[in-house]
Chains A and B, each alone.
Chain A
């Protein structure tokens, strides 16, 4: 489903302080996978995740999503890919502070052009699954960290993207909230068939997934 072929990423290319962040990455992520990119701090996990999510450019190589090369598209086309094909969950939740949980969850669907009824139905469905259906009218600042992260997951998953990229989603959560979040994401993966790819060094995340992709100094460890 997602294929990376010979992906390299350099920071400060051609300068004395050049960093080779990703080295000849060849990787395939199949539909329905529940995987993690794992490795020590600074090994390139987030860089790889950002490259897959076309948030960051690559220096050379190809990223193919469902047979279509996406790494070399225009900025506008990449924005469209991120909107329609990919869901993001960030470490710092990053909800829109002036929108309620319900509005935050439905935001991407609204951008995609779904009507109010479709959005409302889907939001309630996901909120029930993630056990935040009683918090839908709350603004983010009235929610706990765990609840905010669940809203962020719900936002990512509501529009049924092809893949969800979650960068250190448990980093700001305590162990019980981390466990609850991972259980819910596992449920989503199983019930909704959503492909989920984490970047994390959290042991609990690493132990929960079905596939571990190890990175060391920007290269895959086989």
Chain B
């Protein structure tokens, strides 16, 4: 019997070809656009999170106790090189490095801005976060007394490649010291903290400038396998009680919040599209059932059980919904593939986007969850859309239908 029900449902679903095609197109296109928006939103937030991890925190960062509160060089990590070596051996840690950072004032002949001096090891940074990808202008080569500068800070100070900047800060002995630096590169990491404030110099030079040992650090950052992060935090905190261990989410709660907001946007978009799908299928099924009300009355009168009609209608709605889903899957994959590899170029709005820490080219992400959740939602929307039409059939009096048919 199921074969017959399926046969009847299939033929009825596509009996009115233009109506069915319109509905399938509507579902397919709206789903395609919806998953593309989801992918772009996710891509945007994931890109920001990824760049922030690569340019700063990693998945986990360690600081000397009190450093995060006081932000003074007095609270620094000693023997950072040995600690990094030890940390690299821990399961789940994929990369580790240390940095030396100090707050101070950057100035040119005309302007001055509060900024930070960041002592880095270029090779370590390249391994840790593909630092070379952040280069906007100039070359990644520290010569003598040279520095890289964050794009935002360069703009504020109106400096270019080759310009000179004086950085002044208090060293570990509380002496006010200055260093003259020639700009070799402009960096755009999409991490506002650094783009708007940072001057990068070699870590050794930073140590000499601050009168601290070469293996001193203010931060040790780790790239970890995400699944290990929570347990690693606990393990490291126990192993290094004199250090404070933070996860990315603790260091950048606003980015986590942004991702939650993107999820909310995605959920709203998803719900709107599913309501459209629901109304679309409901409309088509309702009209189709009204067209065939006599047929159902006759079927009921010859002994066709109501449950068979229910299955038939549900299958009809599912066939339409699923056809739309597969079209949407194709359209969505097509758009997302393009946006994943080519990205959405918003160079026109680059300044505004970079001010928010976003790259001007947004790359989408593709997650199977977009398609799985949509599949379930379309199945549910299809099944819900037939509740009302089925109630109409349930109330049907076959005798009246036969009488009107005669």
- Which residues in A have some Cβ–Cβ distance to B below 8 Å? 46, 50, 53, 55-56, 76, 79-84, 86-88, 90-92, 94, 96-99, 103, 107-108, 110-111, 113, 155-156, 167-168, 171
> How far apart are the CA atoms of A204 and B320 in the complex, in Å?
48
- Cβ A167 vs Cβ B12 within 8 A: no
CA A108 to CA B299, docked complex, whole Å? 10
Instruction: With A79-B303, A103-B4 as known contacts, state yes or no: A55 contacts B12, CB within 8 Å.
Output: no
The distance from the CB of B350 to the nearest CB of chain A, in whole angstroms, is 58
Q: CA A98 – CA B303 in complex, angstroms? A: 18
Query: For the complex, what is the distance from the CA of A1 to the CA of B304, rounded to whole Å?
Result: 24
Interface size class of B (residues with CB under 8 A): 20 to 34
A-B contact pairs, 30 of them (CB 8 A): A50-B399, A50-B402, A53-B301, A55-B398, A55-B399, A79-B303, A79-B306, A80-B303, A82-B301, A82-B303, A83-B305, A86-B303, A88-B301, A88-B302, A90-B402, A94-B295, A94-B405, A98-B11, A98-B12, A98-B15, A99-B7, A99-B11, A107-B4, A107-B302, A108-B302, A108-B303, A110-B1, A111-B308, A167-B406, A168-B406
Q: Which of A46, A83, A84, A97 contacts B295 (CB 8 A)?
A: A97
Whether B310 is near chain A, meaning CB under 8 Å from some CB there, is: no
**Chain B residue with Cβ nearest A84:** B303
Pairwise interchain contact A79-B300, C-beta atoms closer than 8 A: yes
Number of interchain pairs (Cβ within 8 Å): 76
Chain B contacts to A: CB under 8 angstroms: 1, 4, 7-8, 11-12, 15, 294-295, 298-306, 308, 398-399, 402-403, 405-406
- Is the CB–CB distance between A90 and B405 below 8 Å? yes
In the complex, given contacts A55-B402, A111-B304, what are 5 additional A-B residue pairs having Cβ atoms less than 8 angstroms apart? A53-B301, A55-B399, A91-B405, A91-B406, A92-B405
Query: In the assembled complex, which residues on chain B have CB atoms less than 8 Å from the CB atom of A168?
Result: 406
A86 CB contacts on chain B under 8 angstroms:
303
Q: Which residue of B lies closest to A98 (CB)?
A: B11
Give the 5 A-B CB pairs with smallest separation, nearest first.
A83-B303, A98-B11, A94-B298, A82-B303, A92-B405
Q: Please indicate the chain B residues that have their CB under 8 angstroms from the CB of A81 in the complex.
A: 303
CB distance from B371 to the nearest CB of A (A): 31
**What CA separation (Å) do A79 and B398 show in the bound complex?**
11
Closest B residue by C-beta to A57:
B399
Instruction: Collect the chain B residues with CB atoms within 8 Å of residue A111's CB.
Output: 1, 4, 303-305, 308
In the complex, the chain B residue whose C-beta lies closest to that of A83 is B303
B4 touches A82 (CB 8 A): no
